[in-house]
Amino acid sequence: MIKVFLFTLILNVLVFGQYNSKNDSLINLVVKSDPDYSSELISEIIVILYTSEYDSGKTLSDKLLKITPHLKNKSLYINSLIHSYRFYPFEEKIKMLDKASELALKEGNYYLLSDAYMFKATAFRDNSMVDSALIYALKCRDLYQLYPGVGDISSILQLIADIHYYAGEYENAEKLYNQILQEDNYIKTTWKYTVIHNNLGLIKIKEQKFPEAENYFLKSLNRLNSSQMSYSDSSGLSYLYRKLLEVSLLQKKYEQANKYYDIGEKLTRKFKQTIELPGYYISKAELLSISGIYDSSLVYLKKAEELEKNNPDLKFKIDLYTVYSNVYGKLGKHAEANKYLSLLLNSTRKSDSLFNRSKLMYTFAEHNYKIAANQRDNFLRERNLYFIILVLSAISLMVILIFFVRLRNSYKMLIKKNLQLVLSSNNKESFPYFDEEEQVILEDNQEEKNDNSKEKNKRTNLDDTKIDEIIEKLEKLMKEEKVYLDPDLSLNSLAQKLNTNRTYLVTAIKKKYHKNFLNFINEYRIKEAILIISSDNISNLNMTGIANKCGYNNRVTFAKIFKQITGVSPSFFINNLVSRGNNE
């Protein structure tokens, strides 16, 4: 319902010119509307404020600033303070933006607070106060980074690039402008595309690369002439044609310069951009002087001089005095020429002084802001230190708890699988957790190590039939006589029992079981240990007793090998087996 009303309202405003009454209706609708819909309505009002012609926009601004302070919802009032920017002189702008930032901060509205900072930085920038401009631009950037989604980061980066330009940091400005153009694909559909290209053109003029400057200005012109641009965007044409006029003069393209003057001067009057007229008249006077029409040139210079008094601009003064001195010099009026040369010299010195001051204040502001930012960051770090420690401690405890539970469950699973393996009918299976790389050496380990070393270097012609014969005898011996329970069992003694030699025995075990002699014996002993632990006799045995019954001389060696093969310690295995039995 509200969207239909808004569409009808704006259509009437644009087509039938029923501006004042419709705006009153829209403001009343905001006052009476549900808070859930007010943001949409406020956005529509701000759009109208921006796209209106100057007189209509100023009227709407005055009404908003009169009515909205009394509303409970301060959003429209704050927006009105911020977006009435173009209708008021510098001092009033700053007061309004101060009020807007104060209210936005009080309301906790960081979106509007960042807008207030940005417009404030813009106002200071336009008034050549680059130190203050930089401080508020950096404040706005910090809000964008602290609260993602609050604003368009490319906008504030553009503003910071502008400040680089005004401070004479042309290289930094150009890099930042090009970065924005490359990273922000949406920028081509906005007014920022035009502003950035204009500023790149100004940089190229400073570098005396006039064709490149003209190319940037022409890109801006194409954008401003597109159908997507609004009335307020198109008002920038007067500035753009003036820059094209100036760069044409610098390239001595006088016919083209005259064309730009004719178009631009008409647009300036249409959009009531009288602040641009001194620049047009100065350039026109220069064109007339080049053509030798000095009287007409002086007429335009006097018109420019009168207009410049209403809106003082040091650059216009420098250009004005330059053309004055040239014209009077060509007319042979040297006293007048010297008068304007003296004024030109004073203005140039003042400009250089202001420029150097801007650079100094820019550096000073950047330095001070970094100090303030560091102090703020230190305060925030100290304030949040205990909270961070608490959170990290809680997370650490949770991780440890989860790890402990998972580890305990995995150990229990190992116990279950090892028990199933030992109790299965096929007792020839190897433990799945056995690591062949790790070996625990028995008391006769030196002998075994030497034998293994010799074995690696000795080649045999042992065939499969012989291997099968040895393995058959070995398995029978292990099953029936359980020779592995003998703690003094060695490779030699076992080979003698099988009526073979140690080399054949090692080779047979390697080929059949893919393991060495020690690991082969240890697996049998650990399976025996698991059978003992799972039997009813376990209550009568301690760890040393279990070790002795499995063929180990001491509990330390037994414990190491048990954990190596099963993945858990004997004590853990016993305790969890008992617990499992109770639960069952």
| DSSP character string of 488-512 | T--HHHHHHHTTS-HHHHHHHHHHH
pTM (predicted TM-score): 0.48
Place of tokens 């699973």: 413
**Radius of gyration for the chain, computed over Cα atoms and rounded to the nearest angstrom:** 45
Report pLDDT for 443: 39
Residue from 535, 539, 536, 507 nearest 520 by CA = 507
No. of helices (H) and no. of strands (E), the chain: 27, 0
User: CA angle at residue 60 from 54 to 66, to 5 degrees?
Assistant: 135
Q: Which two tokens stand for residue 464?
A: 């499969």
Spans of the chain, pLDDT less than 70: 1-38, 227-235, 352-387, 404-461, 577-584
Report pLDDT for 11: 38
CATH number of 445-583: 1.10.10.60
DSSP string computed for 274-322? GGGHHHHHHHHHHHHHHTT-HHHHHHHHHHHHHHHHHS--HHHHHHHHH
Report pLDDT for 312: 84
The rounded distance, in Å, linking the Cα atoms of 101 and 103 is 6
The rounded distance, in Å, linking the Cα atoms of 360 and 367 is 11
DSSP class of residue 461 equals -
Maximal CA-CA distance, the chain: 134
Residues 110-138 as b/e (b if ≥16 CB within 10 A, e otherwise) read bebbbbbbbbbbbbbbeeebbbbbbbbbb
What's the Cα-to-Cα distance from 313 to each of 47, 88, 250, 277, 363, rounded to whole Å? 31, 18, 21, 12, 24
The rounded distance, in Å, linking the Cα atoms of 419 and 128 is 85
Report pLDDT for 16: 37
Q: Which amino acid is at 269?
A: R
Burial class (CB in 10 A: 0-12, 13-18, 19+), 403: exposed
What topology does CATH give the domain 264-414? 1.25.40
The rounded distance, in Å, linking the Cα atoms of 299 and 374 is 57
The rounded distance, in Å, linking the Cα atoms of 89 and 94 is 9
Q: By three-state DSSP, how is residue 127 classified?
A: coil
Q: Where are the alpha helices (DSSP H) in 127-152?
A: 130-146
Residue from 548, 531, 504 nearest 421 by CA = 531
Contact of 156 with 118, CB cutoff 8 Å: yes
Domain positions in the chain are 264-414, 445-583
The rounded distance, in Å, linking the Cα atoms of 56 and 49 is 8
Torsion angle of alpha carbons 357, 362, 368, 370, nearest 10°? -160
